[in-house]
Structure 1
Amino acid sequence: MAITLGLTYKFPLRSWGRSTTKVVMFSDEELQQMKARLRDMGMENQRLKDQIADSGNKTTEIMIEKNWVAAPHLITFPIGKSELSNEARVNLGFLAKVMKENNRKVTYTIIGYADKGTGSKAFNERLSKARAEAVFECLVEEFEVPESYLEVTYEGGVDNMFYDDPRLSRAVITEAK
């Protein structure tokens, strides 16, 4: 006796279909060009390796040029005075450092002012000059800034220069030219 039994099973689709891989074709000429470029890159790589090996323990000197120019600098004074406070001297020390480390020939102008509302015209002229000279002397004598870096001028009594505040006109401004 013989029995024949048939069984059918359907597998779910699992994208076993056709391959989605793209085949890129190159001509012999394109392949030769790519090989030549690869060979050239290999030669350049070897040249750089040889250059590194040849340099051995040689030191390389790196030159960095500092070209600093200080922003305008304001120093204020009490009414009728031309003596520098310790705070002003500290700030001038920072300014002097920039002036001396600058590799370019920059001239800094020191401009003295007095507020017009206090003192006579003659008094304000003398006071604004004394304030500018005090800053000049501090930079040259205390911080050793070469005199050739500095120019001194003064304006006498002026109207309120900043924020309608006469205290800010009792000042010296130092600015690069």
Structure 2
Amino acid sequence: MLKRWCAVPALLMALSGMAWATDCPEVLQGSLPKLRAKESIDLCQRYAGKPLVVVNTASFCGFAPQFEGLEALNQRYKGQGLEILGVPSNDFKQESKDSAETAKVCYANYGVTFTMTEPQKVRGDDATHLFKVLASQTSAPKWNFYKYVVDRQGKVIANFSSLTKPDDPEFIAAIEKALASPPLVSTP
């Protein structure tokens, strides 16, 4: 009898995990390795129900100074729940093959405190799942520092070209719209 009761919590945990997986928006399914860390970022666990800005970055791109503006947005809105995820990529041949160099540019040169991943593919058939879904909802990045604003439901509400600076009023309006979006509703 005791064995049967011990199995109930395990069964409930397994079922709740299944429910969580179905509640996770498609864009957040999967994980990505964190830049210069031994850990991976479970996208659903970390970002589900939160407004999110996803940006593909490159250390040696002329748009790299946008890291400063993105960090300013991070500081301005993180208290309201905004998350920013930087995804370095060499798809446009402007990222270091050495992740230590990428980390130096992000963290030391620009003072980035938002989450950065190890370099990933962001275009084409080899793109990471996150960018395949972002592209399916809008379009694939056309260059480095292409920005996506994702609401709490996991839907892209706006995307912006590399030319759009982080302090652009339209970009800020999209972030504020994502912040105001209703929370993710779980299904019973």
TM-score (norm 2): 0.30
TM-score (norm 1): 0.31
Structure 1 or 2, whichever has the larger Rg, is 1
